[in-house]
Amino acid sequence: MSCVRVVLAALLLLARSAVPGQAGDAAKVNLEILRDTIRANRKALVAANLTLSDDEAAGFWPVYNRYQTELTAVDDRLVKVIDDYTASFPELSNEKAMKLVDDYLSVEGDRVKVRRAYLGEIAKVLPGRKVARFYQIENKMDAVQRYDLAREIPVVEQ
């Protein structure tokens, strides 16, 4: 998990340093490369921690790839919320703070919707214990990501 932690921290730092007007195309390309690396590492961690038979793997990986594509869109929105917050942080108004909280909760709600939407499909190709293990692995990787984000993002001052 430490590899994922390093990559996620780098993503956060890159996203926070990408100031509009200064980031340029190179920063956007680097951000995409970094995000692709994170997705590949996530998949490798799932593969290493979810022992699948050949038949299970044949059914699971296509579903997983679609699942990750949908979660990537949700994560893209989270990065925008974080970017918006970090850009607004020094002079954050009450109204802007409330909008950011609403945007964040919308992102989190959509993350849950995607996970719930894929539960049935994953359950069709994996037995219940492996489904539970998959969601536990996902949850653990998200916990690491959330910890790193929480550590790096400053708390709103009173």
| Tens-place pLDDT, residues 43-86 | 899 999 999 999 999 999 999 999 999 998 998 999 899 889 98
Q: Please tell me the distance from the alpha carbon of residue 64 to that of residue 138, in angstroms, as a whole number.
A: 11
Per-chain mean pLDDT for the chain: 83
In a domain, 158, yes or no: no
Asked if residue 15 is part of any domain, the answer here is yes
Q: How many domains does the chain have?
A: 1
pLDDT in the model for residue 36: 66
User: What is the model's pLDDT at position 157?
Assistant: 83
**Distance between CA 113 and CA 54 in Å, rounded?**
29
> pTM of the predicted model, to two decimals?
0.76
d(CA 42, CA 139): 11
The pLDDT assigned to 21 comes to 43
Specify if 157 maps to a domain: no
**Does the pLDDT value for residue 7 go beyond 70?**
no
Side chain identity, residue 72: T
pLDDT band with cut points at 50, 70 and 90 for residue 29? low
Domain residues for the domain of 82 are 2-152
Question: Going along 25-154, which residue ranges are E strands?
Answer: none
How many beta carbons lie within 10 A of that of residue 134, not counting itself? Answer: 22
Give all strands (DSSP E) within the chain, no chain letters: none
Structure tokens at 117: 């939407």
Give how far Cα 39 sits from Cα of 23, 25, 46, 92, Å.
23, 21, 11, 32
Q: Which of 9-18, 35-44, 148-157 has the highest mean pLDDT?
A: 148-157
Q: Which residue has the higher pLDDT, 123 or 85?
A: 123
Q: Which amino acid is at 91?
A: E
